[in-house]
Amino acid sequence: MKSIGVGILGLGTVGSGVVKIIKNHQDKLMHQVGCPIEVKKILVKNITKERDVEVSPNLLTTDVNEVIEHPEVDVVIEVMGGIEETRSYILAALRNKKHVVTANKDLVAVYGSEIHKLASENRCDFYYEASVAGGIPILRGLVDGLSSDKITKLMGIVNGTTNFILTKMSKNGSPYEEVLAEAQALGFAEADPTSDVEGLDAARKMAILATLGFSMNIDLSDVTVKGITQITEEDLNYSKRLGYTMKLIGIAQQDGEKVEVSVQPTLLPDEHPLSSVNDEYNAVYVFGEAVGETMFYGPGAGSLPTATAIVSDLVAVMKNMRLGVNGQSSISPQYEKSLKEHSDIFSKYFLRIHVKDQVGSFAKITTIFSSHGVSFEKILQLPLKEKDLAEIVVVTHRASLQDYEEILQHLSDSDVVAQVKSSYRVEGDGVQ
């Protein structure tokens, strides 16, 4: 094999990183796969735009067909983003017998099974390591490193933007809007941060992780999602007081044949390893029946970390080409999807409520919890500046989500409750 031809869709931050790594690491890549890698064509919106990577103008095109139909392109790397248009390009590339590597989590979460099917039919590889947690090899770890184990739980921080925001809010006591503006100025948050701060980006990644970890087709609509926009300084202060750190946590858990997948602000004990994952870093905890607990940690985004994952997938494609086994690595999900009901999902909960400061109020609240068989693990009761109101903060013992939702409804309807201020999931034990 004289060389491998690569076509790239997109030359933004990540695409530029891919070009740099292919150029600067050519010796190492040749040692890995036995032949040079050559970038043959790159799709861009504007050929004359100045870029921070040196590329011959002859390689640039605004016509996608010059990439996906190029006779010397063996592998198409997609780093342009988007869903519908990008899907059509990738499907066309596979029909043209081009292997595909992408960093597009949105695309994989929505159309992954369709793309895998077409790739297998055309004996092509479809890899997407960079779609989850940037430079952390979590997908390869699940598919290859832990392939002999039964994964029971995946839990982690998979969005760097929200982790940066919560870190700054917690450490500096800064309000959400101020920290969001700082994250945008530093390039950690988009001008429209909705996908990140409302948990949608993390949800897409958890759908991908759960599909691979449990060998079950998990769709984005199967993920319960709650973002960070309602978290207040008071919530963070009470969390600290009780020995917890607040993080936006993705959880995928399997018990028996049923699974739950969610993304939500969660209180973790201060000593939990995920509590010390700060700023834009990502980390994923994997629980296996045989291996026990493992953790994958590293930069969750950025040009070169993400590009490293993409080029690693490129190397995997090239090794498969040498062995003649392209399109054979994709394994269809083994199990039918079976989601838990709310009565099957158990957790502890943090709850902050404002109640009327009068005799019998706390007794009425306790009765609501006890009628559902839910008891308190921790309780704080404090007076408020507002006349005739008190604040109660509790952490419950484990309860089903169904019971807890009914408790919240009864509290909202109670004549002694002025307002349910906030409610969050709790994993593990804080200060005893």
342-426 CATH fold: Alpha-Beta Plaits (3.30.70)
Of 138-142, 168-172, 257-261, the range with the lowest mean pLDDT is: 138-142
Phi-psi map region of 82: left, alpha, beta (phi>0 left; psi -120 to 50 alpha):
left
Give the span between the Cα atoms of 309 and 128, in whole angstroms. 8
Spell out the domain ranges in the chain: 4-134+303-323, 138-299, 342-426
Question: What is the enclosing helix (H) or strand (E) of 312?
Answer: helix 303-323
Question: What was the pLDDT predicted at 323?
Answer: 82
What DSSP letter does each residue of 189-236 carry, written as one string?
A: S-SS-HHHHTTHHHHHHHHHHHHHHHTB---GGGSEE--STT--HHHH
Question: In the predicted model, what is the mean pLDDT of residues 330-342?
Answer: 86
How confident is the prediction for the chain on average, in pLDDT?
A: 92
Question: In the predicted model, what is the mean pLDDT of residues 322-344?
Answer: 85
37 to 27, 316, 317, 325: CA distances (angstroms): 10, 13, 12, 19
4-134+303-323 CATH fold: Rossmann fold (3.40.50)
For residue 304, pLDDT over 70 is answered with yes
Of 46-50, 87-91, 270-274, 327-331, the range with the lowest mean pLDDT is: 327-331
For residue 300, pLDDT over 90 is answered with no
Question: In the predicted model, what is the mean pLDDT of residues 190-209?
Answer: 93
Bridge partners of residue 420, in order along the sequence: 353
Question: What is the enclosing helix (H) or strand (E) of 391?
Answer: strand 389-396
138-299 CATH fold: Dihydrodipicolinate Reductase; domain 2 (3.30.360)
Give the span between the Cα atoms of 202 and 251, in whole angstroms. 10
150 noted as active-site residue? no
- pTM confidence score: 0.89
Bridge partners of residue 296, in order along the sequence: 284
Model confidence pLDDT, tens digit, residues 200-253: 999 999 999 999 999 999 999 999 999 999 999 999 999 999 999 999 999 999
89 to 102, 121, 314: CA distances (angstroms): 12, 17, 18
Return the axis-axis angle of helices 105-121 and 200-214, rounded to nearest 10°: 40
Question: What is the enclosing helix (H) or strand (E) of 265?
Answer: strand 258-269
Question: In the predicted model, what is the mean pLDDT of residues 144-168?
Answer: 92
Question: 1: pLDDT confidence band, cut at 50, 70 and 90?
Answer: low
Question: What was the pLDDT predicted at 432?
Answer: 53
Q: Which of 56, 184, 119 is nearest to 331 (CA)?
A: 119
Selected residue with higher pLDDT from 305 and 42:
42
Model confidence pLDDT, tens digit, residues 268-278: 999 999 999 99
Q: Percentage of residues in the chain with pLDDT exceeding 90?
A: 73
Instruction: Give the chain's radius of gyration (CA, Å).
Output: 24
Question: What was the pLDDT predicted at 430?
Answer: 65
**DSSP label at residue 291:** T
Contacts of 192 (CB under 8 A, 6+ apart): none
Catalytic residue among 41, 205, 226, 348: 205
430 to 26, 244, 293, 395: CA distances (angstroms): 50, 5, 20, 10
Bridge partners of residue 367, in order along the sequence: none
Question: What was the pLDDT predicted at 31?
Answer: 86
Give the span between the Cα atoms of 188 and 186, in whole angstroms. 6
Model confidence pLDDT, tens digit, residues 97-137: 999 999 999 999 889 889 999 999 999 999 998 888 777 88
Question: What was the pLDDT predicted at 33?
Answer: 82
Give the span between the Cα atoms of 208 and 202, in whole angstroms. 10
